[in-house]
Amino acid sequence: MFGYEFYVDPSRCIGCQSCVNACEECETHRGHSMINFDFIDRPESTATAAYVCWHCEEPTCAMVCPADAIKKGEDGIVQSSLKPRCVGCSNCVLACPFGIPKIFPELEQMLKCDMCYDRTSAGKRPMCATVCPSQALAYVRPEEVARRREKPNNVFHFGKQRVVTKVQMMVPESTPVISIDVIDYIWEEAHAVLPQPQ
């Protein structure tokens, strides 16, 4: 839908998994949810986070696909893999900085969130945003989100790669960019392998 953006706020996630179940109900991939649902630190806390595909501006998954099966449309949505072309090589699974694409070996195909394209192209919200009770996954106009305390951010650093996405993440106002390099979060600041980008 024009004028609406997708906002992800992990701090609002209550772990109800409504999004996971709602996504599963879609006929095209019944029983398989396209939501990436994380227990952030299960031994220590009950904090959870749910993520959808971030629909990057220059999608890494599309760029590494050897079969030219992943396409990004003019509206900025990165579509799931094209059935006739995908060979199930899982190049995209390895390449995505956010770990979004899911490989289904029994189908020999990759499936991923496509922002419920059948819904959003017809004026409806994606299923996950519709059912999320805390609006951790929200599909609203930017004005509504401007009223929140957190600010939306869509620039990520993944090692030396700078990723700009269509889906925005709500972060504290002081955060300039988000670094999603795995190594950065394995080690504490003192032992960081790569310096944090400024």
154 counts as binding another protein under rule CB under 8 A: yes
Q: CA-based angle 49:94:168, to the nearest 5?
A: 40
Separation in Å, CA 27 to CA 23, 32, 109, 116: 9, 10, 16, 11
Separation in Å, CA 195 to CA 96, 98, 171, 178: 22, 20, 21, 13
Of 6-65, binders to another protein (CB under 8 A) are: 57, 59, 62-63, 65
Segment near another protein (CB under 8 A); pick from 68-76, 99-107, 116-124, 179-187: 68-76
150 interacts with another protein by CB under 8 A: no
Minimum distance from residue 147 beta carbon to another protein (Å): 14
Position 155 contacts another protein (CB under 8 A)? yes
Of 51, 168, 181, 184, the residue at the interface with another protein (CB under 8 A) is 168
Tell me whether residue 20 or residue 67 sits nearer to another protein (CB atom): 67
- Residue closer to another protein, measured from CB, 34 or 77: 77
The minimum distance between CB 5 and another protein, in angstroms, equals 8
**Both tokens assigned to 4:** 């609406």
Residue 66 touches another protein, criterion: CB under 8 A: no
Among residue numbers 103 through 142, which ones bind another protein (CB under 8 A)? 142
Residues in the chain, total: 198
Radius of gyration of the chain (CA): 17
List 102's β-bridge partners, or say none.
111
How many CB atoms lie under 10 A from the CB of residue 177?
17
CA 90 from centre of chain: 17
| Contact range with another protein by CB under 8 A, out of 22-30, 71-79, 95-103, 184-192 | 71-79
Nearest to another protein of 25, 75 (CB atom):
75
Beta strands in 58-187 (DSSP E): 102-104, 109-111, 137-140, 151-158, 161-171, 178-179
Which residues are at the interface with another protein (CB under 8 A)?
A: 57, 59, 62-63, 65, 68, 70-76, 142, 151-155, 164, 166, 168, 176
